[in-house]
Structure 1
Amino acid sequence: MATPVVTKTAWKLQEIVAHASNVSSLVLGKASGRLLATGGDDCRVNLWSINKPNCIMSLTGHTSPVESVRLNTPEELIVAGSQSGSIRVWDLEAAKILRTLMGHKANICSLDFHPYGEFVASGSQDTNIKLWDIRRKGCVFRYRGHSQAVRCLRFSPDGKWLASAADDHTVKLWDLTAGKMMSEFPGHTGPVNVVEFHPNEYLLASGSSDRTIRFWDLEKFQVVSCIEGEPGPVRSILFNPDGCCLYSGCQDSLRVYGWEPERCFDVVLVHWGKVADLAICNDQLIGVAFSQSNVSSYVVDLTRVTRTGTVAQDPVQDSRPLAQQPPHPSAPLRRIYERPSTTCSKPQRVKQNSESERRSPSSEDDRDERESRAEIQNAEDYNEIFQPKNSISRTPPRRSEPFPAPPEDDMATAKEAAKPSPATDAQFPVPNICPGGAGTLEVLSRPPVITSTPAPKAEPAIFPATRNEPIGLKASDFLPAVKIPQQAELVDEDAMSQIRKGHDTMCVVLTSRHKNLDTVRGVWTTGDIKTSVDSAVAINDLSVVVDLLNIVNQKASLWKLDLCTTVLPQIEKLLQSKYESYVQTGCTSLKLILQRFLPLITDILAAPPSVGVDISREERLHKCRLCYKQLKSISSLVKSKSGLSGRHGSAFRELHLLMASLD
């Protein structure tokens, strides 16, 4: 009689050399489980198809090691953050750079794409979290509250919340529309490395270097349970797509947990070392790990893993009669997310006409995008993965084909713990269960997830009124556009609320500016222009300097050589400003100075030294030397910006020609 073929539960798929130097980050595409992105110390982002040896595409442009990478849900866009704090977004289908986002002051530690709206969230070692609008290339909001590096960011499945985990041992939940923190979850005693939302319920899981996984109720904002005893720091966790269990990628093993009550369903030996990311497709769990320049991928056959119902147990530690053991769980009672029924299109390359709707890109941004490249390394794989098969959808790489399992070599080593008999249904004892910190937590009344369609219940209000204060964003910004047949008109109160957005902040800014201008005007009435400009500079407000220069520029006779020595350093700041009006004023003032005073400055500096003592000439010579030094400093800036396109480009090219005599 022939022996039946037995396949392995877990196996190594492949190992590749992903970069020329050390790999610093990697991520799996969660939709297909087949697309892998790696970031390296060589400042590149490389794209791979799992189980294929050749790189599909290499993305360049970063000038420092890539610390974090993330793919969007359709696997059409990728965002990468570097050690210097810069962020780049590439369109994989078009094989080109889409956006460069600058603003963080330190390493980018975490990134995530919004599930519906065209936004990216970034967390940095500078402790800030920023929300970016990909369409308009600008920062929408900054969330401040963490005191150390932000290690992980995740948007909620409905797109309304953002969870953050940081080295300060805390997890925070942010309301995107209100722009403020909803709740803070303390309890971890070490850096929190990862957070994940349950795919259906109001539940959040967090993993920490303190070797614990905590589950948080997002209705009551309190801990549900805590699992201790992980072999090492928790770096990778992932909910099963139907929400029945949580997978934890431990050192050389995969552990499967339930949370109500907390218990371990199964432990699978994988030998993957420090696994960095997990994904699920076709009842297979894909895990990837990296060491130096190598990346390894592994597969776990989930059909051979216990995920719910029967619980892996130690019969020595739980010898209670069957009647005394916990009853079989039923459907959960926690609230579920309300997802929109439509999907979101990828960011449009919109033409930005209104100054209020755009951020003027700096020359550095333009240069970054010109120097960023998406180099296709393998045209066959690229066409298979990223080129649409038809006008409706794109076929991910081999999504419908599970990875074939190799024959089992040794059944005894395939799994660390044997699956228990169906006759037993007992809680797996986890030592020192939180939150008390001592003893074990008694079995909770709320059961674990079994199905993805929980029983209906009355839905309590989630957002108190104080959480809905406007910050310039609205809930619809984070949802796909849905045509509503009969949309009710705004009531008067809502209309006024829309009009008053940012009104108080603008009033404070304008009041301060008016006060500063009154101070300058008081000096101006004395007729001393130089002292007026000095007072404007002393206030340290570029807007006041701009207002004053706009007046002085209208009358060339007001300009004197000593006024140039004060204004030139301010002009250098204006030329580097992100505001179009500031750059324009700086160009106008610099052009006037060059036309009126540059010939005088060069003639005086070229004249032979005088004989005897001439104090007025010495003072004039000193001013000319100072102006010349300042103009030389500005000339390099003007030269770098002369390559810009549009009106500013032509203005800088004209200034560059006027400053040619400086060389």
Structure 2
Amino acid sequence: MAVSVTTKTAWKLQEITAHSSNVSSLVLGKSSGRLLATGGDDCRVNIWSVNKPNCIMSLTGHTTPIESLQINTNEELIVAGSQSGSIRVWDLEAAKILRTLLGHKANICSLDFHPFGSFVASGSLDTNIKLWDVRRKGCVFRYKGHTQAVRCLRFSPDGKWLASAADDHTVKLWDLAAGKIMFEFTGHTGPVNVVEFHPNEYLLASGSSDRTVRFWDLEKFQVVSCIEEEATPVRCVLFNPDGCCLYSGFQDSLRVYGWEPERCFDVVLVNWGKVADLSICNNQLIGVSFAQSTVSSFVVDLSRVTKSGFILHGLIRDDKPLVQPTPAGSSLRRIYDRPSTSCSKPQSRVKHNSESERRSPSSEDDRDEKESKAEIQNPEDYKEIFQPKNSISRTPPRNNEPFPAPLEDEPVAVKEAVKPSQAVDVQTPLPKQEHSDPIQRPPIAFSTPVTRTEPSVIPAARNEPIGLKASDFLPVVKNQSQTELVDEEAMSQIRKGHETMCVVLTSRHKNLDTVRAVWSTGDIKTSVDSAVAINDLSVVVDLLNIVNQKASLWKLDLCTIVLPQIEKLLQSKYESYVQTGCTSLKLILQRFLPLITDILAAPPSVGVDITREERLHKCKLCYKQLKNISNIVKNKSGLSGRHGSAFRELHLLMAVLE
């Protein structure tokens, strides 16, 4: 008789003794989910392969306990911050210290690597955030504004923003190229422990000790939703790679959330305790936790976890309506731009560096780097993981098979790591470099400033005149040809495969030139008339985006021309067209609807008043057009997301028409 065998949704994978004293921090590599770094009160950073018992490498040099760790996207570099405020960057593949960064005055509480550039961000108990250029060994910016310890830092997927979460209950968003704050999110009532960007959309999630998870819209800069039902503080969060849901780690469970509307898709009981980090590989979620000197790793089989709908362990929740998940690719929000091509000649690293980099370093930094070592503890695992640089696909742990799940009744074996043996020092001396004293300078904008209200209490101080450009925060692209392309050749390469789009854009440019010629005469009404006559909605959108910025340009006769175009825009499949239509309609309603209703309600005049008759005719025409539009607005007010809220606001403004 065949017996069916069931496996667990979550299980403990391993338990190791990671340090000779208490473990103080740990982090997983996000690309493989298999590389683990631990930091301890013994001032060491140890590197492990998940589910292997022996330490691969031990990094020394810090003189105080390790407080924060981060591994870069390629899993080639690791940065560690200590209790004293010092930061060290190691090259794992070369097994050597790369940089020592000094400048913070207290514990390093948070670190993150920039997704493209050679930058590291650090947050400290001293309330400061610093952006470091690892190549030049200098502090690029210092961001001041938090009033308590900065607990988490995250760069946006496009590399243009930095989000910070702190004990002062706030989350702040910084523009890297402009060197200033974009927005401060308030709403949490306790220290904010974690913050995470959605992988695709302009959405940010934050988890707090107030036991809530909040979702923030990065276009409208407001809260999208808030999960408030939890019993313990939020310890870590991670979006699913496709962005369909958010995983949150609590003391005894993993919870799976959606945000529009807020809901819990699933709860997986996992007794991991002090869970510190999460990663995903091969449809498995890996979680790591620590207690005293031991580190435990856990696996959750995501194929057995509900990620959409409202089904929770086979039961449909009755407290919230069943809503179909938004299909992939139909995002209501803007998505990040990730530039991937370039026709410019690659910059020379030597010429790009500052003059001071070629002079001798300060004796303090030189000593710190010479005393920092990367000791290989397990040569076989080290070669297997870090040496095959030229292979097309890296060997394990990058591309391991999924961790096998134990049977329901099978006990999980607990392993203890072999104690690190004395290893050969493989440190390679660095080229000598200088570390100059920080000089306070006013903030300098490197791109067009963001036209948003900027809180005056949050300046960003420039520490070193390094010549940072917005392009430094974009991916470095290797060009096949080392010779610089002339403009004609570059344009020819760009146009390849885009002939249709080039024809469309050329036509649009020609139409805009026609409208611009009329606009230069100062006749706004005729300009709009000419744009409408061209019969190209994209030209109308371009013109409205200009007119919308100055309300004084609007007149009643302009409304009669624009309203039929707004009706078309609101029904467009293009998000930007709908957004422009909503903005123009809101402006018309706020500025002219009271006037239209008053004139239509006024008693008829005695005698002949041609001006009044013309105004009455325009008001009747606008009223009729607004009635037609109100039906569209009413139908679309039930949508979810950003456009839904815009249509609901318009519906309220148009209530007087009913």
Same fold (TM > 0.5)? yes
The letter of the residue matching 1:278 is: L
Equivalences for residues 300-379 of structure 1 within 5 A = 300-312=300-312, 318=318, 325-326=322-323, 329-330=326-327, 331-341=330-340, 354-355=354-355, 361-379=361-379
Equivalent position of 1:6 in the other structure = 6
* Alpha-carbon distance in 1 for matches of 2:113, 2:391: 24
Shift of 1:329: 3.9
Shift of 1:55: 0.2
Q: Is the 8 A contact 1:25 1:66 kept in 2?
A: yes
The superposition leaves residues 385-444 of structure 1 with CA deviations (integer Å, 9 ceiling, x where unpaired) of 00025355533415231000000139xxxxxxxxxxxxxxxxxxxxxxxxxxxxxxxxxx
Matched, 1:221 2:221: yes
Shift of 1:16: 0.3
Equivalent position of 2:109 in the other structure = 109
Distance 1:219 1:289, change over 3 A: same
The partner residue of 1:474 within 464, 469, 474 is 469
Shift of 1:48: 0.3
Shift of 1:463: 3.9
* Alpha-carbon distance in 1 for matches of 2:2, 2:198: 45
The letter of the residue matching 2:335 is: I
Shift of 1:359: 8.6
Shift of 1:70: 0.3
Equivalent position of 2:254 in the other structure = 254
Equivalent position of 2:149 in the other structure = 149
* Alpha-carbon distance in 2 for matches of 1:312, 1:362: 60
SS at match of 2:303: helix
Distance 1:316 1:285, change over 3 A: closer
The letter of the residue matching 2:472 is: D
Equivalent position of 1:464 in the other structure = 451
Q: Is the 8 A contact 2:111 2:121 kept in 1?
A: yes
* Alpha-carbon distance in 2 for matches of 1:256, 1:206: 14
Equivalences for residues 430-469 of structure 1 within 5 A = 463-464=450-451
TM-score between both structures, scaled by the size of structure 1: 0.62
Equivalences for residues 210-289 of structure 1 within 5 A = 210-289=210-289
The superposition leaves residues 577-617 of structure 1 with CA deviations (integer Å, 9 ceiling, x where unpaired) of xxxxxxxxxxxxxxxxxxxxxxxxxxxxxxxxxxxxxxxxx
The letter of the residue matching 1:475 is: A
The letter of the residue matching 1:289 is: S
Most deviating of 359-368 and 23-32: 359-368
Distance 1:313 1:285, change over 3 A: closer
The letter of the residue matching 2:278 is: L
Distance 1:131 1:40, change over 3 A: same
Q: Is the 8 A contact 1:136 1:359 kept in 2?
A: no
SS at match of 1:47: strand
Distance 1:147 1:404, change over 3 A: same
The letter of the residue matching 1:247 is: Y
Distance 1:335 1:371, change over 3 A: same
Matched, 1:138 2:138: yes
* Alpha-carbon distance in 1 for matches of 2:125, 2:487: 44
Moved beyond 6 Å, runs of 4+ = 313-317
* Alpha-carbon distance in 1 for matches of 2:81, 2:348: 21
Shift of 1:314: 9.9
Distance 1:296 1:283, change over 3 A: same
Distance 1:350 1:94, change over 3 A: farther
Equivalent position of 2:125 in the other structure = 125
Shift of 1:303: 0.3
Distance 1:316 1:75, change over 3 A: closer
Distance 1:462 1:30, change over 3 A: farther
Task: Give the greater-gyration-radius structure (CA).
Answer: 1
Distance 1:58 1:222, change over 3 A: same
Q: Is the 8 A contact 1:68 1:111 kept in 2?
A: yes
Shift of 1:333: 1.1
SS at match of 2:364: helix
* Alpha-carbon distance in 2 for matches of 1:176, 1:88: 22
SS at match of 1:152: strand
Most deviating of 245-254 and 161-170: 245-254
Q: Is the 8 A contact 1:219 1:462 kept in 2?
A: no
Most deviating of 5-14 and 375-384: 5-14
Equivalent position of 1:67 in the other structure = 67
The letter of the residue matching 2:2 is: A
Percent of residue pairs bearing the same amino acid type: 79
Distance 1:398 1:119, change over 3 A: closer
Distance 1:392 1:476, change over 3 A: farther
Equivalences for residues 561-572 of structure 1 within 5 A = none
Distance 1:70 1:487, change over 3 A: farther
Distance 1:464 1:358, change over 3 A: farther
Equivalent position of 1:292 in the other structure = 292
Distance 1:333 1:263, change over 3 A: same
The letter of the residue matching 1:167 is: D
Q: Is the 8 A contact 1:177 1:470 kept in 2?
A: no
Q: Is the 8 A contact 2:163 2:171 kept in 1?
A: yes
Q: Is the 8 A contact 1:48 1:55 kept in 2?
A: yes
Shift of 1:338: 1.2
The letter of the residue matching 1:377 is: Q
Shift of 1:475: 1.5
Q: Is the 8 A contact 2:178 2:449 kept in 1?
A: no
Structure 2: runs of 5+ lacking an equivalent: 411-447, 455-459, 489-658
Shift of 1:341: 2.5
Number of aligned pairs? Answer: 433
The letter of the residue matching 2:474 is: L
The superposition leaves residues 337-380 of structure 1 with CA deviations (integer Å, 9 ceiling, x where unpaired) of 1113379xxx9996998535679632111000000000000000
The letter of the residue matching 1:266 is: D
Q: Is the 8 A contact 2:166 2:193 kept in 1?
A: yes
* Alpha-carbon distance in 2 for matches of 1:319, 1:183: 34
* Alpha-carbon distance in 2 for matches of 1:235, 1:374: 30
Equivalences for residues 562-641 of structure 1 within 5 A = none
Distance 1:259 1:387, change over 3 A: same
* Alpha-carbon distance in 2 for matches of 1:348, 1:169: 43
The superposition leaves residues 309-329 of structure 1 with CA deviations (integer Å, 9 ceiling, x where unpaired) of 343289797279xxx754554
Q: Is the 8 A contact 2:308 2:325 kept in 1?
A: no
Distance 1:191 1:328, change over 3 A: closer
Equivalent position of 1:32 in the other structure = 32
Q: Is the 8 A contact 2:117 2:476 kept in 1?
A: no
Q: Is the 8 A contact 1:137 1:359 kept in 2?
A: no
SS at match of 2:11: strand
Equivalent position of 1:198 in the other structure = 198
SS at match of 1:55: coil
